[in-house]
Amino acid sequence: MKTLTQSPTDPAFVQDPYPFYAAARADGQMHHWQDYGMAAAFGHSAVHMLLRDRRFGREVPQELRTEGPAHLAPFLAAEAHSMLDAEPPRHTRLRKLVLRAFTSREIAALAPGIHDLCRQLTGAFPDQPFDLLDAYCTQVPVITICRLLGVPEEMAPQLLDWSHRMVAMYQAARTEQTEHAAAQAAQEFTDFLRGYIDDRRDAPRDDLITRLIAAEEEGDKLSTDELIGTCILLLNAGHEATVHALGNGVKTMLQQGWQPEWLAPEGIEGLVEEILRFDPPLHMFTRYAYEEAEVFGHTFQRGEQVALLLGAANRDPAALDDPGRFDPTRPPKVNKSFGGGLHFCVGAPLARLEMQIALPILFEHCPDLKLAAEPEYSNSYHFHGLTQLLVTRS
């Protein structure tokens, strides 16, 4: 297996990681990424297989578990109950209970509110250049998550702050300052949710937190710690990814010269899938090997990690014709942006719904939308999103 060197904080890589992915794929499906100290799957076949291979998983093998540094205790405690880092049987139980509350019917019921929110936000756009990321792409998902959970909308800025500080833990540019900020955010978020869940137990409402409290499978329910972990996951994963999927998507549409038919009812699903494939908000997802396993010529030992490069798999020419071309009319057969297998993103239907509503309303209200400055990606790999998206309406 070839060893590759590429700093994930290198400015050129941050702005455009796709040439590195292409060069890596040209030499094979899997290589050792020296900067991460682990094998990395760049090809669609390898990523697709590893997402479904039960010899690999998210949960840290028992013998590798440590208490972690004391200053990270609140963050690690919140993460310990996350469905994202669990494997069966714990993952099966958590996901089943969450899906009992987070049904397709409940998601569809959010659509009219998302329509109204998008129209309200676009109606407040200024005439001078403004940051669409802050004014629209961020507001749509975070306010929708507030409504879904039953949290007051005026808490959106606070939820955003907690989320940003916690999610920064997964960035290559993480520092000790990042860790202290994440721990403080996790403690504050946990304390808030504990009190809020207690209130919902006493006074149920028609919201997701109440439904999660009530979710039951053969007498089994979510514990308070599991409820807190689930709510944090839904906010952090649910809004961070959608913010940047929208931002990256609008950027791409403006650079490519968008076509009205992309936004028509018969074209919008294809547009959203192509946006997610072409420039996804999450580029890497890691797994642990649970036993000795040979994959694409590489033998993993138990406890070794592998990085699945979702952004690279989405542009594999072995899986898709002309993958570097943005084409919303192509059949959406290659899209690893929501993961796959047991850990396929539970919020994918909501993210798709938000994008399918937000994009047509944006361009209907602002048909002459243009970039007011060259967009720049933030130094936050393995996330891939813009620092801002300056636009003008004319």
Question: Could you tell me the domains of the chain?
Answer: 3-392 (1.10.630.10)
- In the chain, % helix, strand, coil (3-state, to 5) comes to 55, 10, 35
Distance CA 205, CA 207 (A): 6
- Over the chain (394 residues), the average pLDDT of each successive run of 10 is 96 98 97 97 97 96 90 93 93 94 93 98 97 97 93 94 93 93 97 95 94 90 95 86 96 97 96 97 97 95 98 97 96 89 93 97 97 97 96 93
The H-or-E segment that residue 286 falls in is strand 284-289
- 106 neighbors 365 (Cβ within 8 angstroms): no
pLDDT in tens, 139-189: 999 999 999 999 999 999 999 999 999 999 999 889 999 999 999 999 999
The H-or-E segment that residue 325 falls in is none
Distance CA 79, CA 92 (A): 17
Q: What is the pLDDT of residue 293?
A: 97
Q: What is the pLDDT of residue 68?
A: 87
Q: What is the pLDDT of residue 173?
A: 87
Q: What is the pLDDT of residue 236?
A: 87
For 47-74, b/e burial (b = at least 16 CB within 10 A) is bbbbbebebbbbbeeeeeeeeeeeebeb
Distance CA 110, CA 106 (A): 7
Between vectors from CA 335 to CA 333 and to CA 336, what angle results, nearest 5°?
Answer: 135
Q: What is the pLDDT of residue 394?
A: 83
Distance CA 315, CA 125 (A): 35
Q: What is the pLDDT of residue 191?
A: 97
| Structure tokens belonging to residue 263 | 């936004």
pTM of the model: 0.95
Nearest CA among 5, 67, 64 for reference residue 37: 5
